[in-house]
Amino acid sequence: GPASLRAPVVALIGLPGSGKSTIGRQLARLWSMRFVDSDHVIEQRLGCSIREFFEREGEQAFRDMESQVIDELSASTSSLLLSTGGGVVLREQNRRHLHARTQVFYLDCTPEAIAARLRNDVTRPLLQVEDPALRLRELLLQREPLYLETAHFVIQTSGLSVAQAAQRIRMQA
């Protein structure tokens, strides 16, 4: 990674579908960092998809596992590009760990831009509703202050390609 980074871990936060993992993969390639998606780590530990786990055990059980994984990954001493789940900021412990231990970029994207991109995506349990854009607006209302509190940098990504968004982050870092 670049010398100017203040921590070995760079974390991306933002709404579901804001591009955390696609942009994260691109950045990891550019910076020669290991890429880790916390949702993927969680699914490996659970041995099933997050969607199945949500349905079977409920959201709180998922959040417990998520906090455990974020605690571990945020403390990594080797360089890591960390893509997180959209709800990671809901717990105060996660916000504190991410902000204190990692360099956090909030990918700020409009609900409308996300809804357009996610049409036909059935992997996100929180967006399996009649009007995903409305759901995303509700999520943003609840979470935006939490994203802003956790982030060191805010990156506007609506209308940008993955490459353009990655470039914007590189210029901020």
91 is an interface residue for ligand S3P by CB under 6 A: no
Query: Would you say 20 and 81 are in contact if contact means Cβ atoms under 8 Å apart?
Result: no
19 is an interface residue for ligand S3P by CB under 6 A: no
Report the C-alpha gap between 130 and 2 in whole angstroms: 43
87 is an interface residue for ligand S3P by CB under 6 A: yes
132 is an interface residue for ligand S3P by CB under 6 A: no
Q: Which stretch binds ligand S3P (CB under 6 A): 1-9, 120-128, 146-154, 164-172?
A: 120-128
111 is an interface residue for ligand S3P by CB under 6 A: no
Q: Which amino acid is at 93?
A: Q
Q: Which stretch binds ligand S3P (CB under 6 A): 1-9, 70-78, 100-108, 122-130?
A: 122-130
Query: Would you say 106 and 155 are in contact if contact means Cβ atoms under 8 Å apart?
Result: yes
Question: Residue 15 — left, alpha, or beta (φ > 0 → left; ψ -120 to 50 → alpha)?
Answer: beta
Cβ closer to ligand S3P: 2 or 138? 138
Residue 48 beta carbon to ligand S3P: minimum distance, rounded to whole angstroms: 13
Q: Nearest-CA neighbor of 155 among 2, 10, 6, 13?
A: 13
16 is an interface residue for ligand S3P by CB under 6 A: yes
